[in-house]
Structure 1
Amino acid sequence: MTRLFEYIGTDNIRLSVADCPVGVRIKSVNDLKNWINKTMQKPDTRGLIAATFVVDSEGYIRLADRHSEHIACAGGKSILSAGEIFFSYNKQTFEVVEITNQSTGYCPEAGSWSQVEKALEQIPLPHPGNFTTEFIFRRCPVCRQLNIVKDDLFLCAVCNTGLPKIWNCDCYRTYI
């Protein structure tokens, strides 16, 4: 079953980026080159080009500047996955060398990788075969704080309550 992740972040962020451009849909390597050139993306100190990404509901990668919010990249819509992506460029070829599911606005499960993989293979772009860093998100059933689970320790960082093993980030949505 394919899960669509709805935005679960704060309304403050949603409203603050309402007028921001939607991420650019990448259907080919040429689209990727054009996005990099048009937005004047520059490699970081490791020579990698970083971007915010979502996989939209139609299964395509959308890219925005790394400092963009995922909700803006997605145009406010539900997504199949989201995170950060890092490209290397070598002798006319691009490759995804690092990719995460880090998005506290959508909190996609690590299992959303299958949707990312399909989107990358449509382009086609070589990739590492999975998220290079996976984040586990859970919402505390007591204080409602969003948590990133570290070292397999399912405890709320705020109130020390045990966190569920099953994804629950769409529960107890926070409105600020």
Structure 2
Amino acid sequence: MDLYAYTYVGPEEIRRASASHPAGTPIASRDDAAAWLQAYPDARTEGATYVVDLQGRLRLAPRRSEHVACSGGVEVLAAGEVRFQGAGARLAVAEVSNQSTGYCPDTSCWDAVVLAIRGAGLEPPRAFTPEVVFRRCTRCGEINLVKEGWFVCVFCDADLPAAWNIAPRRMVHVSGNG
């Protein structure tokens, strides 16, 4: 499957501060997810930070972790927040978003999220909950989070492009789950 790789576009000071933190835990099975939730019980109520690495694996970190730390500082196929429900054989992904102001992934990263969640033996929800739209203003260069379909820069009132334009991205081929 061909997917886009996203580079970190957030503040450099966050990248530097995150370099000393461990990368997120790879989740390759339902048992891995259950063990991670056991180790981080606050994630049951708060949710977790996630990335999908370049091998198509889901990686989890505690909710207040930076996505760039969860990734180990490298490109990702997707990033956002995830919430789980249930336990054991009934463990499921209740919600997942692409809300990451560090990577600002396009909504098209959904395919990578589905690949990673299914690769971990879990079933994804039907769509992002919520789906976040990011655009860079072509006038002032600021990154905007588009709300309610209003494609206008909150910094300078310029119209925002319809297509994702945060940073250059490259296509990578992912054959399956690491």
TM-score under structure 2 normalisation?
Answer: 0.89
* More relative contact order, 1 or 2 (CA 8 Å, 6+ apart): 2
Superposition deviation, residue 113 in structure 1: 0.5
Deviations 1:125-162 (A, max 9, x none): 12212112101000111211110111111100010011
Decide which structure has greater helix share.
2
Distance (whole Å) between structure 2 residues aligned to residue 42 and residue 71 of structure 1: 19
Superposition deviation, residue 40 in structure 1: 3.9
Greater mean alpha carbon deviation, residues 120-129 or residues 72-81: 120-129
Match of 2:75 in 1: 78
Q: Do 2:48 and 2:83's aligned partners in 1 also have CA atoms closer than 8 Å?
A: yes
Q: Do 2:104 and 2:134's aligned partners in 1 also have CA atoms closer than 8 Å?
A: yes
Q: Secondary structure at the match of 2:85?
A: strand
CA RMSD of aligned residues (A): 1.4
Superposition deviation, residue 42 in structure 1: 4.9
Letter in 2 for 1:94: L
Change (3 A) 1:66 1:42: closer
Q: Secondary structure at the match of 1:62?
A: strand
Q: Do 1:94 and 1:126's aligned partners in 2 also have CA atoms closer than 8 Å?
A: no
Greater mean alpha carbon deviation, residues 71-80 or residues 125-134: 125-134
Q: Secondary structure at the match of 1:169?
A: coil
Distance (whole Å) between structure 1 residues aligned to residue 78 and residue 59 of structure 2: 10
Q: Percent identity?
A: 40
- Give the count of matched residue pairs: 167
Change (3 A) 1:96 1:107: same
Superposition deviation, residue 38 in structure 1: 2.4
Is 1:87 matched with 2:88?
no
Distance (whole Å) between structure 1 residues aligned to residue 127 and residue 43 of structure 2: 25
Deviations 1:24-80 (A, max 9, x none): 000001111111222343532xxxx51000000000000000000000000001000
5 Å-filtered alignment, 1:13-162, equals 13-44=14-45, 50-90=47-87, 92-162=89-159
Distance (whole Å) between structure 2 residues aligned to residue 128 and residue 115 of structure 1: 13
Q: Do 2:37 and 2:44's aligned partners in 1 also have CA atoms closer than 8 Å?
A: no
Point out where structure 1 has 5 or more consecutive residues left out of the alignment: 172-176
Match of 1:12 in 2: 13
Letter in 1 for 2:104: C
Deviations 1:67-101 (A, max 9, x none): 00000000001000010000002464211111100
Q: Secondary structure at the match of 1:3?
A: strand
Match of 1:174 in 2: none
Point out where structure 2 has 5 or more consecutive residues left out of the alignment: 169-178
Superposition deviation, residue 166 in structure 1: 1.1
Distance (whole Å) between structure 1 residues aligned to residue 52 and residue 102 of structure 2: 14
TM-score under structure 1 normalisation?
Answer: 0.90
